[in-house]
Homo-oligomer: A and B are copies of this chain.
C-alpha cells in the first residue's frame, strides 16, 4: 500500500496532522529554506536554526567559526552579522563555517514538528533532491508550508505542489491541500517567478529591492542537496 502524502498550508494548521514517523519537509521559499540549502551546498559545516535574535547571539558566542544571521523587516537584525539572502553565502565565505540563523516563519515551523522520522529542508534550489529522497525513503510525507505569520502564502504552496505533483504516482494523496497545491503548480506552467508576481511576499521583497533574491529562490535544482535535521543542526546529505 502506498504511503500518504499531505500538505499543511500553515503552522496554525499543523496540529491537524500526525507527523509521527513521517518525513516532514519544511518549506519557506522566500527565503529561509532557500538560504539554508544554498549555504549547505556551498560548504557550510552546518546550519543551526533558532527562534530568536537573543538565542542566535548566545549560540553564536559559544560556537567556534560561526556566524550569526537573521533579518527583521528586511534588514539585518540588530546584534547579528548577516542577513537572510542566499547571495550572502558563497562557497569562499561560508565553507566550513557554522551558520546560526533565525527567521520569522521557517524556524518556527521546524521547531513545532513532533515525532518525525526526518525533518528536511525544501526549496526550488533542491527540488529534485527532495523528491528523490522522499521517493526512496519508505515513509508517509507531510509537506509543511512556513507561511507568513501563519497566513497562507502562494510560493510555499507552489513548491509543495511541485513536490506533490512529482510524487503523485508514488504516494496516496487524499488531502485537498495537496490537490490545491498541484492545481496551483499546474497553473504556473513552471514559470514560477511570473506566477508569483503580485503575491504578498513578491511585493514585500521586491519593495526591499530584492528581485535578484526572488529570481534565485525560484530557480530549480541549482543545489542538489538534502538538508536534514540532526539534533539541533541541519547538515547536508
**A→B interface (CB under 8 Å):** 9-10, 12-13, 16, 149-154, 157, 174-177, 179-180, 183-184, 186-187, 198-200, 203
Contact call B174/A184, Cβ cutoff below 8 A: no
Residues in B with CB closer than 8 Å to A154 are 176, 179-180
CB distance from A5 to the nearest CB of B (A): 14
Interface of chain A, helix or strand or loop or mixed? helix
Contact call A150/B13, Cβ cutoff below 8 A: yes
Minimum CB distance partner of A198 in chain B:
B179
Residues in B with CB closer than 8 Å to A13 are 10, 12-13, 150-152
Contact call B175/A157, Cβ cutoff below 8 A: no
Q: Which of B149, B176, B199 contacts A152 (CB 8 A)?
A: B176
Residues in B with CB closer than 8 Å to A179 are 154, 198-199
Minimum CB distance partner of A175 in chain B:
B200
- Give CA–CA (A176, B29) in the complex, Å: 14
- Give CA–CA (A12, B175) in the complex, Å: 17
CB distance from A231 to the nearest CB of B (A): 31
Contact call B174/A157, Cβ cutoff below 8 A: no
Residues in B with CB closer than 8 Å to A157 are 180
Minimum CB distance partner of A186 in chain B:
B187
The 6 closest A-B pairs by CB, nearest first: A154-B176, A152-B177, A153-B176, A183-B187, A176-B200, A176-B199
- Give CA–CA (A183, B200) in the complex, Å: 15
Residues in B with CB closer than 8 Å to A200 are 174-176
- Give CA–CA (A162, B151) in the complex, Å: 21
Minimum CB distance partner of A151 in chain B:
B16
Residues in B with CB closer than 8 Å to A199 are 176, 179
CB distance from A29 to the nearest CB of B (A): 12
Query: Which of A150, A175, A176, A187 has the most C-beta atoms of chain B within 10 angstroms of its own C-beta?
Result: A176
Residues in B with CB closer than 8 Å to A16 are 12, 149-151
Query: Which of A151, A187, A198 has the most C-beta atoms of chain B within 10 angstroms of its own C-beta?
Result: A151
